[in-house]
Homo-oligomer: A and B are copies of this chain.
Amino acid sequence: MDTKSLPVFSADCPSRTIVDVLANKWVLYVLGLLRAADRPLRFGELKRSVEGVTQKSLTKTLRTLERDGFVDRRVHATVPPRVEYRLTDLGRDAGQLLTALNDWAKHNAPKVVSSRETFDAGQPREAPAWTHRG
């Protein structure tokens, strides 16, 4: 590979593109909900289900997922408004990736967690709360 000039952030780096999608704070959860529900969900339903999310963050998450082609947003011209979100084919296909990710994660995330604990226990190089400095 040409490690000279790097397409780390360009659209030429597929992994980067996908990881950036998944990296959004609420994406995994929204995708998971839509997968589990297996039916269109309204904004309010999502909002209530994803506890802790603000409408702003949820809106942004959904807009991004729509833009990226993972969800389809359908507005019904009724009053009061009714907006439904459903997975696209791509969004449904992402299930494969999420499954692979989840499998690997379930197997290895615990190792990561315990590695962190070990590291943190052995390297109090950044003074923890109980040491006073300055």
- Find chain B residues with CB under 8 A from A21 CB: 112
**A75 in the interface (beta carbon within 8 A):** no
Q: What's the number of copies of this chain in the assembled complex?
A: 2
**A44 in the interface (beta carbon within 8 A):** no
Q: Known contacts being A29-B6, A90-B115, A111-B90, is A14 close to B50, with CB within 8 Å? A: no
Which residues of A line the B interface, CB within 8 A?
1-6, 8, 11, 13-23, 26, 28-29, 33, 36, 49-52, 66-70, 90, 93-94, 96-98, 100-102, 104-106, 108-116, 119-120
A-B CB contact pairs (8 Å), 27 listed? A2-B52, A3-B52, A4-B51, A6-B29, A6-B52, A8-B28, A8-B52, A11-B109, A11-B113, A14-B106, A14-B109, A17-B109, A18-B101, A18-B105, A18-B108, A19-B19, A22-B23, A67-B115, A67-B116, A69-B115, A69-B119, A90-B108, A93-B108, A97-B100, A97-B101, A97-B104, A100-B104
